[in-house]
């Protein structure tokens, strides 16, 4: 998710270098997804790429996307990230960063994704801003999902001992 953003684009470039079977570019901004699509098609002409325009706040749309593409690994980089703008637009920060993360995490659980990585921020440590607080809550959602018990073929499997991993990484401004 967030494939058109600065971090999302770089993740897409690095993932493409690893020769995945397919790459789904999910983002809300049509222009940014189009730009990374053209770049990747040029650099990796044999890679199967699916550009998907969607809002992570739309749970039903995410369910459709996960049903269609059955992603194994999700890098969730979709977020509103500009601190001053989020202070002035609290509802947007919460709905995108918190509700959106909950939706993507739930879709990943529901469709048995093997791996889920939330791209977070150093601002989630003892947050002093709306942005930092929303990213900290997003981290808590993903970390809670990592502890949930999942059911496969009627058998209870603990996420810690299964092949599934939901994790959080914090990127600092240096990156």
CA distance 36 to 92: 25
DSSP-derived 3-state class of residue 108: helix
List alpha helices for the chain, DSSP H. 6-17, 30-43, 59-69, 83-88, 90-93, 100-110, 130-147
Give whole-number Cα distances, 141 to 32, 89, 93, in Å.
27, 22, 15
CA distance 24 to 33: 10
- Say whether 155 is catalytic: no
Query: Which of 123, 147, 155, 159 is the catalytic position?
Result: 123
152: DSSP letter: E
Q: Which residues are catalytic?
A: 123
């Amino acid at each position: 998710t967030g494939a058109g953003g600065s971090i999302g684009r770089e993740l897409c470039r690095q993932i493409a270098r690893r020769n995945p079977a397919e790459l789904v570019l999910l983002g809300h901004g049509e222009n940014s997804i189009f730009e990374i699509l053209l770049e990747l098609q040029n650099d990796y002409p044999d890679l199967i790429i699916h550009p998907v325009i969607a809002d992570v706040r739309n749970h039903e749309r995410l369910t459709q996307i996960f049903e269609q593409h059955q992603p194994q690994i999700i890098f969730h980089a979709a977020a509103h990230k500009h601190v001053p703008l989020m202070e002035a637009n609290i509802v947007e920060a919460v709905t995108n960063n918190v509700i959106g993360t909950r939706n993507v995490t739930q879709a990943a659980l529901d469709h048995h994704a093997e791996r889920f990585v939330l791209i977070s921020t150093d601002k989630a440590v003892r947050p002093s801003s709306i942005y930092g607080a929303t990213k900290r809550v997003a981290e808590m959602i993903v970390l809670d999902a990592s502890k949930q018990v999942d059911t496969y073929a009627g058998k209870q499997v603990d996420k810690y001992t299964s092949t599934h991993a939901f994790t959080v990484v914090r990127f600092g401004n240096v990156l």
